[in-house]
Amino acid sequence: MRLPVEVMLSCTERLQHLIRQCVSTVTLIDSLKPTHEISDQTTRDFYWTYNTHGIKFAKMPTLNCFMKIGRCFEKAVVQKNKKDESDIMSALLTTFLLALIYLEPLHAEPLEIPIGLITEEQGDHIPLSLLQPVIEDVGEAGALQGIQDNNTTGRFTGQSFTLSVEKVKADEPVIQAFRKLHQQGIRVFLVNLPAEKLLQIADQTDAKSSLLFNIGATNDNLRQHECRANLFHTIPSRAMLTDALAQYLAWKRWTEWFLVIGRHPRDKAYAEALKRAAKRFGHKIVEQKQWTFEPGARRTDSGHNREQQVVNEFSQVSDYDILIVADESNEFGEFLTYRTYRPRPVGGTQGLSPAAWSGVHEQWGATQFQRRFNEQHGRWMTDRDFSAWLAVRSIGEAATRTSSSQVNKLKTYMQSPEFNLAAFKGRPVSYRDWSNQLRQPLLITSAKLMISVSPQPGFLHQFTTLDTLGYDRPESRCKK
């Protein structure tokens, strides 16, 4: 038995109409009537029902809607002819595909949500080795990945996302870049700048009605006493990173540390976070030394001999479980591994390191995500890229749920308990409503493998174990 072509085309027209009702969240026909709100944690969507030729359909999340259309249409076809089930299913599939192919574009205008990125140009940087890539689009590539993912969903929700990038030199004022984007109508910004420049933007009058995402500054004071109501953080703080490492070292019972601190202010700030984490999780710093040697000519023929001698002499201290290095400037930390006087592991900013993201992460769907990023950008994703992606996806998720691009609505939803975002880390991530910091699992990695993920087993919390990383509500001066 074969269904006549005219029957299939008639069914196709009907399916086109039904699919439009599934994918359109902008225009609702007059016959739609709200029924009830679903409380399910996964969907949180309004269901709408109406009658068409005696068959009820519902406006719901796209996949579920298409599945219901298929079931209802199958029922209608079966009622017409029950003789040949295989032909019926073949006709159903063919008609459904025809409906998708010939589905006309939605007539509703898409909701456009422009996003601005303000980032600092990378200065001249000599990589540690030829294997270390020189990245010029750090953060930007992650943001573009997020824009693509948002627009994939936006085709069905009637939303369109764009990215405008402003790069500033280290000695240039950043306010002009912000004003330029703001004058273009942009109200949502990703900022990849040092903390002091980030606050300059956040304190602008025009920024009060904007939404800023910090994707680069790990400074704890931004989550402690320099909080801003319009500023969210997707990059983890130093306290979160060092707590993640300290938890793993507590699990390993490597409780006695030899702390080596670099010569730059940010190295010292990381060391202070390490000291806080050590006290918090029961570790003891048995030795502490300042690294004072200037970076040498390591590429000369005798460069390795100098480094070998310097590190061996520098590390002749009393016994310890692990050498913890605070070298955010990446000047010397990599040289310590395998060169210390005692055969001990190295961790901190180099060696066994905590990170928001790493190219070695392969779990919870991360492999496909990593490959997709690598194919498009020719490199692996960094923590700044991941933080930018998280920010863009947060905007997309909030815009989808609220059907709005208004800053106040996006902000309110992201701070609410209803907000959560899949981030390829095994559990949803969300924002702390007192500091606007994104709470998330953190990776413990080596150069080529993921070693663990924190929070570690056994570290409990009355609300969520993710709040065992970084400053918790009672510890923070930021208030909701």
Residues 326, 286 share a domain:
yes
Cβ neighbours of 435 (radius 10 Å) = 25
Is the residue at 375 inside a domain? Answer: no
Measured between alpha carbons, how far is residue 340 from residues 218, 248, 315, 363 in Å? 29, 22, 6, 33
For position 197, which CATH number holds?
3.40.50.2300
Mean pLDDT of 390-400: 97
Which residues, in sequence order, are bridge partners of residue 56?
A: 51
What proportion of the chain, given as a percentage, has pLDDT over 90?
67
Structure tokens at 232: 């969210």
pTM beyond 0.75: the answer is yes
Residues 224, 250 share a domain:
no
Mean pLDDT of the chain: 82
Residues 351, 396 share a domain:
no
At 371, give phi and psi (nearest 5°). Answer: -65, -40
Residues 346, 431 share a domain:
no
Q: Which pLDDT score, from 0 to 100, does residue 133 have? A: 77
Q: Which pLDDT score, from 0 to 100, does residue 156 have? A: 87
Q: Look at residues 320, 355, 390 and tell me which one is the last residue of a structural domain.
A: 355
Q: Which pLDDT score, from 0 to 100, does residue 27 have? A: 31
Residues 347, 274 share a domain:
yes
Q: Which pLDDT score, from 0 to 100, does residue 46 have? A: 32
Q: Which pLDDT score, from 0 to 100, does residue 201 have? A: 97
Position of tokens 């800053």? 407
Domain that holds residue 81: 5-101
Residues 197, 162 share a domain:
yes
- Specify the number of domains making up the chain: 3
**If we measure between CA atoms, which residue out of 189, 240, 242, 225 comes closest to residue 434?**
225
pLDDT tens digits, 160-201: 999 999 999 988 999 999 999 999 999 999 999 999 999 999
Is the residue at 279 inside a domain? Answer: yes
Is the residue at 477 inside a domain? Answer: no
Query: At residue 138, does pLDDT exceed 50?
Result: yes
Query: At residue 252, does pLDDT exceed 90?
Result: yes
Measured between alpha carbons, how far is residue 35 from residues 24, 49, 65, 123, 164 in Å? 18, 7, 16, 58, 41
Q: Which pLDDT score, from 0 to 100, does residue 55 have? A: 33
The least confident of 27-41, 66-80, 134-148, 411-425 is: 27-41
Distance CA(429)–CA(33), nearest Å, equals 34
Is the residue at 449 inside a domain? Answer: no
Residues 179, 94 share a domain:
no
The least confident of 6-20, 82-96, 136-150, 252-266 is: 6-20
Mean pLDDT of 114-136: 81
Query: At residue 91, does pLDDT exceed 50?
Result: yes
Mean pLDDT of 365-386: 95
Is the residue at 169 inside a domain? Answer: yes
At 232, give phi and psi (nearest 5°). Answer: -110, 155
Q: Which pLDDT score, from 0 to 100, does residue 90 have? A: 58
Which of residues 71 and 261 earns the better pLDDT score?
A: 261
Query: At residue 82, does pLDDT exceed 60?
Result: no
Residues 392, 332 share a domain:
no
Query: At residue 53, does pLDDT exceed 60?
Result: no
The least confident of 71-85, 212-226, 283-297 is: 71-85
Is the residue at 368 inside a domain? Answer: no
Residues 247, 162 share a domain:
no
Query: At residue 225, does pLDDT exceed 70?
Result: yes
Q: Which pLDDT score, from 0 to 100, does residue 25 have? A: 34
Mean pLDDT of 20-24: 45
pLDDT tens digits, 274-330: 999 999 999 999 999 999 887 665 555 455 667 889 999 999 999 999 999 999 999
Banded pLDDT at 129 (limits 50, 70, 90): confident
Instruction: Give the chain's count of helices (H) and strands (E).
Output: 13, 17
Query: At residue 266, does pLDDT exceed 90?
Result: yes
Q: Which pLDDT score, from 0 to 100, does residue 135 have? A: 84
Which of residues 249 and 98 earns the better pLDDT score?
A: 249
Residues 167, 90 share a domain:
no
Residues 423, 386 share a domain:
yes
Residue 72: in which H helix or E strand, if any? helix 62-80
Distance CA(407)–CA(230), nearest Å, equals 9
Is the residue at 403 inside a domain? Answer: yes
Which of residues 133 and 456 earns the better pLDDT score?
A: 456
